């Protein structure tokens, strides 16, 4: 069941440069995606491709100078700024990357309790979740600066878990972890889906996405180029649809380990046609004419006129 639907959604920033020259940064373009209950959609893409901005758009925490168009619906109804504010941290929760999201001046137990539903026993729920994540009871009276990295990660998970949110957005929750801790962190994210939440898992790392996600959305220069079931990431990538997804897959060390030539275009200088065309081995003159629409191909979606 679709819980969150992003439809034809775009985000841009107007910025002034020296001499009052105005530049227009199109950071998310015509994006469509859907989060389903009990499923993980991983958002995979290079740095600067717009992953965090999408998360912030859903939560309603974009910077004030951002302009948006298109719609985001939660349980079939449009998410207005007022609704986003009311649902944030309750029905739509963020698992942030960094402990900096915690209030440095508040004991962490207390912080977690503020996310417990009003109808429930806050202290009891917080202690239970700390036990679940193997945080000793004395942790509750610590301040964020006293936590180790691992403890901080579990406190952040606790906050999302006690909220009982229907939508969990995890933005790069696993950078720089050793393999054992990584496995646990990924398992923790999977658990949110297993108890019925719709999960958006943002990561640079295709490998960790493939370990827990149901579908992978590949981001490039502010939009999805492909949404594919994880099973398609196999062998030489024959089942994948977009040349960029195939190239990303083949670039992994366990595959051909061949980097993709060229760089992603900056949001102020997007090509008029297909955003990937300047780097694409399959590009033809038509690719430069207009932006390809996202279309259904087999059991996935792709934005490429040549895909089949
Ligand atoms: N407040 C802002 N004003 C103008 N441009 C911005 C602003 N915030 C982000 N951007 C631009 O939007 C683009 C997308 O940024 P975003 O943080 O969403 O990328 P990301 O995919 O999350 O990258 P990373 O993997 O490094 O976290 C970048 O080019 C960034 O410079
Ligand atoms: Ni980011």
The number of the ligand 1 atom at minimal distance from the alpha carbon of 62 is 1
Give the pLDDT score at 180. 84
As given in the structure block, the two tokens for residue 110 are: 């207390």
Compute how many other C-beta atoms are within 10 angstroms of the C-beta atom of residue 86: 14
Residue to probe by mutation, ligand 1, list 10, 14, 27, most atoms within 8 Å of CB? 27
Name which residue sits closest to atom 30 of ligand 1, judged by CA.
Answer: 48
Apex CA 268: angle with CA 174 and CA 283, to 5°?
A: 85
* Residue of the CA atom closest to atom 17 of ligand 1: 52
Domains, the chain, in order of start with CATH, read: 2-15+22-91+165-220 (3.40.50.300)
Distance between CA 183 and CA 103 in Å, rounded?
Answer: 27
Model pLDDT, residue 245: 97
Residue of 22, 52, 98 best suited for mutating to test ligand 1, as the one with most atoms within 8 Å of CB: 52
Question: What order of strands is seen across the sheet that includes strand 2-17?
Answer: 21-36, 2-17, 66-74, 77-78
**Pocket perturbation via mutation, ligand 1, pick of 12, 24, 49 by most ligand atoms within 8 A of CB:** 49
Residue 192, both tokens: 């949110």
What pLDDT does residue 192 have?
Answer: 96
pLDDT at 222: 96
**CA dist 19 → 14, 15, 127, 213, 268 (Å):** 15, 12, 57, 47, 17
With a Cβ cut-off of 6 Å, ligand 1 is lined by: 13, 25, 27, 45, 47-53, 63, 204, 267
Q: Report the separation in Å between the CA atom of 172 and the middle of ligand 2, taken as the mean of its atom positions.
A: 7
CA-wise closest residue to 159 among 188, 187, 182: 188
Q: How far apart are CA 157 and CA 130, in angstroms?
A: 10
CA 138 – ligand 1 centroid, Å: 38
Question: How many angstroms does the Cα of residue 239 sit away from the middle of ligand 1?
Answer: 30
Which ligand 1 atom is at minimum distance from the Cα of 63?
1
10 vs 28: CA distance, rounded Å: 5
What's the gap in Å between 152 CA and the centre of ligand 1? 25
Among the bound ligands, name the one nearest to the CA of residue 47: 1
Report the alpha-carbon distance of residue 207 to residue 161 in Å, rounded: 25
Exposed/middle/buried for residue 200 (C-beta within 10 Å: 0-12, 13-18, 19+): buried
- 295 CB-near residues (< 8 Å, 6+ apart): 301, 302, 303
Ligand 1 atom showing the smallest separation from residue 13 Cα: 4
pTM of the model: 0.94
Tokens for 167, please give them: 């939508």
For the CA of 54, the closest atom of ligand 1 is: 18
Per-residue pLDDT of the chain (308 residues; tens, 9 = 90+): 899 999 999 999 988 777 777 888 999 999 999 999 999 999 999 999 999 999 999 999 999 999 999 999 999 999 999 999 999 999 999 998 788 889 999 999 999 999 999 889 999 999 999 999 999 999 999 999 999 988 998 999 999 999 999 999 999 877 777 888 889 889 999 999 999 999 999 998 999 999 999 999 999 999 999 999 999 999 999 999 999 999 999 999 999 888 899 999 999 999 999 999 999 999 999 999 999 999 999 999 999 999 99
Pick the ligand that lies closest to the CA of residue 50: 1
């Amino acid at each position: 069941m679709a819980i969150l639907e992003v439809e034809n959604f775009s985000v841009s920033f107007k910025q002034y440069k020296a001499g009052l020259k105005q530049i227009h940064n199109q950071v998310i373009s015509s994006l469509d995606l859907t989060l389903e209950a009990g499923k993980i959609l991983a958002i995979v893409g290079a740095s600067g491709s717009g992953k965090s901005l999408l998360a912030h758009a859903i939560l309603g925490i974009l910077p004030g100078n951002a302009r948006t168009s298109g719609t985001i619906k939660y349980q079939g109804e449009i998410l207005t700024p007022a609704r986003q504010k009311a649902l944030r941290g309750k029905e739509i929760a963020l698992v942030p990357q960094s402990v900096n999201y915690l209030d440095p001046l508040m004991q962490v137990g207390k912080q977690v309790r503020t996310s417990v539903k009003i109808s429930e026993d806050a202290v009891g729920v917080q202690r239970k979740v700390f036990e679940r994540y193997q945080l000793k009871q004395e942790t509750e009276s610590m301040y964020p600066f006293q936590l180790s990295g691992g403890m901080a990660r579990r406190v952040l998970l606790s906050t999302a878990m006690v909220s009982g949110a229907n939508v969990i957005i995890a933005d790069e929750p696993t950078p720089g972890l050793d393999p054992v801790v990584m496995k646990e962190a990924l398992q923790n994210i999977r658990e949110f889906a297993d108890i019925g939440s719709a999960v958006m898992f943002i990561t640079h790392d295709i490998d960790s996405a493939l370990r827990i996600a149901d579908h992978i959305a590949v981001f490039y220069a502010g939009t999805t180029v492909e949404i594919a079931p994880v099973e398609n990431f196999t062998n030489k990538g024959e089942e994948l649809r977009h040349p960029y997804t195939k190239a990303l897959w083949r670039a992994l060390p366990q595959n051909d380990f061949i980097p993709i030539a060229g760089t992603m275009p900056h949001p102020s200088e997007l090509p008029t046609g297909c955003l990937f065309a300047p780097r694409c081995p399959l590009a033809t003159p038509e690719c430069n004419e207009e932006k390809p629409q996202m279309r259904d191909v087999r059991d996935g979606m792709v934005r490429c006129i040549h895909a089949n």
